[in-house]
């Protein structure tokens, strides 16, 4: 199904659910076509406590501005330890060649923003940038029980009462570069053997869970950067399209190549939604299943959650 179950438990660097990405969303801000909203939801087991995010990890939105699947712009979030039932976050912006290579590069654009543990969101604004971090209702909707039973849909949305830890940024489009067509992905860098390494990643919805069949493939996938995707996974993705959807080899190869490298393609001059970025209400699971199965599976009948906010940070009140 979705990215909710991708890297968790696959390796020592992805055992902690606080370092696990559930979904990535990228969309034009409603009512303001000069702004973009970036949402990274983490921790599918987020409790209503102060223990939902890891202060030793780095959470990052990566932006590729020149279609080489390498980070040219990075927004990096770091969280303080929880003290006296409070926690803060800082956001750093790195650009250019050092954006991908140096985790300490760049400038601080948000400092000591309060993290939200309760129902009322605490929002921090600095210039044209807004930040939110905290417990929220999970906007993802799907029927994983039905999917696991040969697509015999139950009609039940498993995620309707679930929470996540949401990391939300509002940035001016100018921060994403002069070319409106970019690629966006998210990753979590976790401490391992005295250094920070990539423990989980997210781009298009459902890619890892639907296409990577073995534990080893999932481990390699979640610890590599998108620039290596076609070299290491194009043939395997092609095989999934052939086997599941009955596509010819040539058709399957074209479809597989369209998904790799795994970044969310986004034109910030457009509000169209998936596959241009991803809105919180986009029915990505049914679209993905239809593509993989060559249209053989009926719609699951589910609809977007009704508890979304109409304003920043857009994610609903936690349950």
Contact 65, 72 (CB under 8 A): yes
* pLDDT score, position 101: 80
Measured at the CA of 48, the angle between CA 45 and CA 51, to 5 degrees, comes to: 70
Q: What six digits make up the tokens of 14? A: 């992805």
Q: What pLDDT band is residue 193 in, cutting at 50, 70 and 90? A: confident
Residue 144 pLDDT more than 70? yes
pLDDT in tens, 52-98: 889 999 999 999 999 999 999 999 999 999 998 899 999 999 999 88
pLDDT in tens, 200-245: 999 999 999 889 989 899 999 999 999 999 999 999 999 999 999 9
Stated as kind and residue range, the H or E segment containing 207 is: helix 207-211
Beta-carbon contacts of residue 226 (< 8 Å; ≥ 6 apart): 64, 69, 183, 185, 201, 203, 260, 261, 262, 263
pLDDT in tens, 6-40: 544 444 445 688 888 999 999 999 999 999 999 99
* pLDDT score, position 107: 95
Alpha-helix residue ranges (DSSP H) falling in 212-282: 215-223, 229-245, 249-259
Quote the DSSP letter at residue 105: -
Residue 2 pLDDT more than 80? no
Cis peptide before 275 (omega within 30 of 0): yes
Say which residue, 231 or 192, is predicted with more confidence: 231
pLDDT in tens, 125-143: 999 999 999 999 999 999 9
Q: What whole-number distance in Å separates Cα of residue 172 and Cα of residue 10?
A: 36
Average pLDDT, the chain: 92
What is the b/e burial string over 265-280, where b = at least 16 CB atoms within 10 angstroms of the residue's CB?
bbebeeeebbebbbbb
* pLDDT score, position 10: 45
Percent of the chain with pLDDT over 90: 82
CA atoms within 13 A on the CB side of 43: 25
CA dihedral (117, 120, 121, 127) positive or negative: negative
Nearest to 110 by CA among 127, 95, 85, 87: 127
Percent of the chain with pLDDT over 70: 94
Q: What whole-number distance in Å separates Cα of residue 34 and Cα of residue 270?
A: 10
* pLDDT score, position 1: 38
Nearest to 255 by CA among 206, 217, 300, 293: 293
Compute the CA torsion angle 215, 283, 71, 12 (nearest 10 deg): -30
* pLDDT score, position 4: 55
In the chain, domain spans: 3-292
């Amino acid at each position: 199904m979705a990215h909710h179950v991708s890297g968790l438990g696959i390796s020592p660097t992805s055992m902690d659910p606080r370092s696990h990405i559930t979904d990535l969303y990228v969309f034009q801000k409603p009512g303001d076509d000069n702004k973009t909203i970036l949402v990274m939801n983490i921790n599918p087991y987020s409790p209503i406590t102060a223990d939902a995010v890891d202060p030793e990890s780095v959470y990052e939105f990566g932006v590729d501005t020149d279609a080489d699947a390498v980070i040219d712009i990075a927004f990096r979030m770091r969280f303080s330890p929880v003290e006296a039932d409070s926690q803060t976050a800082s956001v750093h912006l790195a650009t250019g060649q050092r954006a991908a290579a140096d985790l300490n590069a760049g400038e601080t654009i948000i400092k000591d923003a309060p993290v939200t543990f309760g129902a009322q969101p605490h929002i921090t604004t600095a210039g044209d940038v807004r930040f939110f971090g905290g417990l929220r209702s999970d906007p993802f909707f799907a029927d994983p029980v039905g999917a696991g039973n040969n697509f015999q849909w139950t009609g039940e949305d498993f995620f309707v009462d679930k929470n996540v830890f949401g990391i939300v940024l509002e940035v001016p489009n100018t921060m994403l570069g002069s070319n409106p067509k970019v690629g966006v992905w998210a990753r979590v860098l976790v401490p391992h053997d005295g250094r920070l390494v990539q423990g989980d990643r997210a781009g298009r919805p459902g890619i890892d869970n639907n296409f990577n069949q073995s534990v080893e493939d999932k481990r390699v996938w979640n610890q590599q950067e998108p620039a290596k995707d076609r070299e290491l996974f194009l043939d395997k993705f092609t095989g999934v399209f052939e086997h599941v959807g009955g596509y010819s080899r040539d058709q399957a190869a074209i479809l597989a190549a369209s998904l790799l490298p795994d970044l969310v393609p986004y034109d910030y001059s457009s509000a169209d939604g998936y596959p241009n970025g991803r809105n919180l209400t986009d029915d990505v699971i049914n679209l993905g299943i239809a593509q993989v199965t060559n249209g053989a599976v009926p719609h699951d009948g589910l609809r977007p959650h009704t508890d979304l906010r109409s304003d920043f940070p857009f994610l609903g009140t936690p349950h």
